[in-house]
Chain A
Amino acid sequence: MLSAVDLARLQFAFTAAFHFIFPAVTIGLGFVVALAETFRWRTRSEVWDRLAKFWTKVFALTFAVGVATGIVMEFQFGTNWSRYATFVGDIFGSPLAAEAILAFFLESTFLGVLLWGGARVGSTLRWFSAVMVSFGAALSGLWIIIANSWMQTPAGYEVQGDRAVLTDFWAAAFNPSTLPRYLHTISSALAVGSFLVVGVAAWYLLKGRHYDVARRSLKLGLIVAIVASIGMFLTGDTSSRQVANTQPVKFAAMNGLFETGEGVPMIIFAFPPGDEGPSDLPSLAVPNLLSLLTTFDVNGEIEGLDAFPTDVWPPVASTFSTYHLMVGLGALMLLVMVVGVFGWMRGRLERWRWWLAAAVVVTPAPLLAVQLGWATAEIGRQPWIVYGVMRTADGVSPIVSSFDVAVSLLMFGVIYVALAALWLFLLRRVLMAGPAPGADGETPVALPPAAPAIREPKPVEVALP
């Protein structure tokens, strides 16, 4: 029988992991939609119009599930982690409230305009709404990362009695891990959205459907995807040094480093270690690389798990595995997009069917990588709920029984599986139907359009406040 703490952790992990699928898609896709809307607004091209509307539809479908599952997160700190909520409320509540006031209102309100506006909304207001939705999505992520980063690297507070009390707002908000983690999260979310755009566009091109929209989506998606993939590695690199400096136990677990050493190699491939000691199966490693990347010295010293008492070790095997799988997926994603940019510059990409097929296959890779990276961050933080300050087991609600949590976990299990099925079912329908056909009907054959894009009559401009 699982304890109430285990069940509460399981429920939080499940609801957070499930929820995070959707904001990751909407932050990335929102940015692509904002770009597409900008091109539509500037060029008044009919193809950009259909392209933007199509991706907005996919965005809206995903956003709905994100909203539905996001409310759960806002309340769960109180329902299941009331001791934690009491202990950190002075610091942790503000970013959640700020997220709602400064970001979520913006995103929700302007999405309403974008989705339900129809002909009542002029060209400029439609563009403005798309930009606000994208801005709101990215800003909302900042506040959530501020809150979560404070759990990783708490700062700007002091413990008074049984509560952590804020002493410096800026130090708490921009604690050592906030910015590196935010940039890493945003570049990963951009990858999630742009890989979806590239994957779907590649699939249309393979099938010879919606040529005009697919071609532009591919280009637009590819540009965002290559920037995001490179950004992911740069910010990941910064993040890992930051973890080495501020959460050395987590860093040791991520790298499966049991013994402190100098000139530490970087593991490229290995079987996962156990939670107590390294695996004795063969592995592939580059000598001195981890020391070089972490300390900028090939012989730099890195603390291993042996430098810390075992009661503050995170679960080593899963921290190591999720981290390495994430990096591996990231490398695969970067490879596909680098080849894509190469093909595009040579003007051959649309004829490289093998590449188009590969782009379709890697569509869900960033989503998986995001989940794995999040798991690394949170599992690696254990046994702490606030790193070095409060243990996870001490944060749980004292009066919520195992039975209560089992009931709610079962409820979330059933609803979320149904939600996932519905989302995939409707997403498939939207993607199968594709963008609206153009004024001259569809262009099924893969031929570049001879005539310039058809110009719409200038829509009535709407004055903005």
Chain B
Amino acid sequence: MIDLPQIWFVLIGVLLVGYAVLDGFDLGVGMLSPILGRTSAQRGLLMETIGPVWDGNEVWLLTLGGALFAAFPIVYATVFSGFYLAVMLLLFALILRAVAIEFRHHIEDARWLLFWDGAFWLGSFLPALLLGVAIGNIARGLPLTGGLYTQGLLGLLNPFSLCVGLLAVAMFAMQGASWLVLRTDGELAASARRVGRVAWVCFVVLWLIVTAVAVIDAPDLWANYGSPLAWMAPLVFVAAIAVTGYALWGRHERLPILGSSFSIAALVAILGQALYPALVPDRTAGADLTISNAASSNLTLTVMLVIALIGVPIVLVYTGFVYSRFTHKVSSPTA
């Protein structure tokens, strides 16, 4: 007997990995844009590296939202209404980023370009931070009263979650820099590599801090790490992050983004394994929202599984095809 809620728990994780890996480098490029792009023309080039793909990448977030709604409606309802103002801020940032990318190139005016460069930065930095803080709070467990989170925006600002927020910022910066190492050349690629190293160091330090704080602040996260098999994901994570560092300090062009993507995937796996079988742990009464009490009916989960099994492979095929069409270095004018 296949356990559908279990499968959907894993699939939600897969969608989160897809989003964090793919839109991760878009957000990273946006965050690094003012640091790496000294001139307006350079910032235009940086944006061009993600131009053809960013929109498709963001659909992973929409899919994640839709899949959560369909598979675990109570989690969707509790988290989104509980994190109300934070979600509104996230929407504000994502709107800003979308129009910045599509409107910027319309007018060649210094102030116009500068305005949208600023919007692009803010619209990339804020989602990274907010998504990190949100996931930090979920990992730490929410104080649920009657199945609802009622502490508002200020309740989200605890040290552990803020650290996870910063971790997400560093992670996406590393991912963005690694992407730019692959897709730019010359001086731009060299400075992307340097910034990537800084981001790597920040990422490793923050990861150690988050892990240490988790021991004190979220001891329940360790409950699933009893057996040696459970240490697979952390091992993969450590290996991937080591490879990323090695690649960033060396001369590799493709290895940094590969290593960084695997680090992200492994980090999501670590989180999923720590949470299981809960999606949102309850910090106060132990009334967790789990795969058994928050899931949709088996019929809905089956229908969704069929849709995912047909749809996702097709998506991966044409997404892969489009990525393969845009592998050139963007420093030369694309005519």
What residues of chain A have their CB less than 8 Å away from a CB belonging to chain B? 60-61, 63-65, 67-72, 74-75, 77-80, 82-83, 85-86, 88-94, 96-102, 104-106, 108-113, 115-121, 125, 165-167, 169, 397-400, 404, 407-408, 411, 415, 419, 422, 426, 429-430, 465
Residues of chain A within 8 A of B308, CB atoms compared: 101
- Are B66 and A74 neighbours in the complex by a CB distance under 8 Å? yes
Interface positions, chain B 51-70, Cβ under 8 Å from A, are: 51-56, 58-59, 61-63, 65-70
Closest 5 CB pairs of A and B: A89-B73, A78-B80, A93-B70, A97-B66, A64-B102
CB <8 Å contact, B317 and A97: no
Cβ of B95 and Cβ of A113 under 8 Å apart? Answer: no
- The one of A68, A80, A83, A430 in contact with B94, judged by C-beta atoms closer than 8 angstroms, is A68
CB-defined contacts of A400 to chain B, threshold 8 Å: 81, 84
Q: Establish whether residues A89 and B55, one from each chain, have CB atoms under 8 Å apart when the complex forms.
A: no
Among A70, A93, A99, find the residue whose CB has the most chain B CB atoms closer than 10 A. A93
Selected from A71, A86, A97, A419, the residue in CB contact (under 8 A) with B74 is: A86
In the assembled complex, the CB of B9 is this many whole angstroms from the nearest CB of chain A, namely 15
CB pair B84 A79 closer than 8 Å:
yes
Query: Which partner residue on chain A sits nearest B63 by CB separation?
Result: A100
**B219 to nearest A CB, angstroms?**
28
Shortest beta-carbon distance from B69 to chain A in Å: 3
Question: Which residues from A are CB-within-8-Å of B150?
Answer: 399
Contact A67–B58 (Cβ < 8 Å)? yes
Task: Contact check, A71 vs B94: say whether CB atoms are below 8 A apart.
Answer: yes
Q: Mark B69-99, 1 if CB is under 8 A from A, else 0.
A: 1111110111111101101100110110011
Residue from B76, B78, B326 having most chain A Cβ neighbours under 10 A: B76
Does the CB pair A101–B311 fall under 8 Å? Answer: yes
A112:B85 contact, CB within 8 angstroms: no
B148 and A465 contact, CB distance less than 8 A: no
Q: Which of B161-169, B205-213, B250-258, B293-301 makes up part of the contact surface?
A: B293-301
Docked complex Cα distance between A52 and B185 (Å)? 33
B227 at the interface (CB under 8 A from A): no
- Residue B230 at the A interface, CB < 8 A? no
CB distance from A418 to the nearest CB of B (A): 9
Cα–Cα distance between A415 and B122 once the two chains are bound (Å): 15
Q: Is B48 an interface residue (CB 8 A)?
A: yes
Known contacts A118-B334, A165-B297, A166-B299: A79-B325 contact under CB 8 Å:
no
Q: Which of A82, A111, A121, A167: most chain B Cβ within 10 A?
A: A82
With A90-B296, A398-B148 known as contacts, the answer to whether A97 contacts B55 (CB < 8 A) is no
- Give 20 pairs: A residue, B residue, CB < 8 Å, sorted on A: A60-B102, A64-B102, A68-B99, A75-B65, A79-B84, A85-B77, A85-B80, A86-B74, A90-B297, A90-B300, A94-B304, A105-B56, A108-B56, A113-B52, A113-B322, A120-B325, A120-B326, A399-B82, A422-B99, A465-B318
| Any A CB within 8 A of the CB of B335 | yes
Q: For B325, give its contact among A85, A117, A429 (CB under 8 Å).
A: A117
CB within 8 A of A422: which of B81, B103, B335? B103
Q: How far is the CB of B36 from chain A (nearest CB, A)?
A: 20
A120-B328 contact in complex given A71-B95, A74-B62, A104-B62, C-beta closer than 8 Å? yes
Q: State whether B303 touches A166 (Cβ < 8 A).
A: yes
A79 to B107 Cα, complex, angstroms: 36
Contact A112 B70 (CB under 8 A): no
Measured in the bound complex, the distance between the Cα atoms of B308 and A82 in whole Å is 25
CA of A85 to CA of B107, assembled, Å: 42
Interface size on B, residues (CB 8 A): 69
> Chain B contacts of A94 at CB under 8 A?
70, 300, 303-304, 307
**Considering residues B65, B68, B79, B312, which has the most beta carbons from chain A within 10 angstroms of its beta carbon?**
B65
Bound complex: CA of A112 vs CA of B71, how far in Å?
30
Given A97-B67, A426-B103, CB of A104 within 8 Å of CB of B59: yes
Q: B58 and A100: CB pair below 8 A?
A: no
Q: How far is the CA of A60 from the CA of B106 in the complex (A)?
A: 11
Given contacts A113-B325, A117-B325, A419-B95, contact A82 B81 (CB under 8 A): yes
With a cutoff of 8 Å between Cβ atoms, the chain A residues found around residue B76 in the complex are 77-78, 85, 89, 93
CB distance from B147 to the nearest CB of A (A): 9
| B224 close to A (CB within 8 Å) | no
Rounded to whole angstroms, the CA-CA distance of A98 and B303 in the bound complex is 10
Q: Are the CB atoms of B69 and A106 closer together than 8 Å?
A: no
Complex CA distance for A320 and B318, rounded to whole angstroms: 47
CA distance in complex: A83, B80 (Å): 12
Residue from the list B106, B149, B299 in contact with A426, Cβ < 8 A: B106
CB distance B88 to A79 under 8 Å? Answer: yes
CB distance from A347 to the nearest CB of B (A): 38
Q: Which residues of B contact A67 (CB under 8 A)?
A: 55, 58, 98
Min CB distance, A9 to chain B, in Å? 16
**Contacts A93-B67, A166-B296 supplied; 19 other A-B pairs, CB < 8 Å:** A67-B58, A68-B94, A80-B81, A89-B76, A89-B77, A89-B296, A97-B69, A98-B304, A98-B311, A101-B307, A104-B59, A109-B53, A117-B52, A399-B84, A399-B150, A404-B84, A415-B92, A426-B103, A465-B321
* Docked CA distance A200–B296 (Å): 49
B284 close to chain A: CB less than 8 A: no
**Shortest Cβ gap from B284 to chain A (Å):** 15
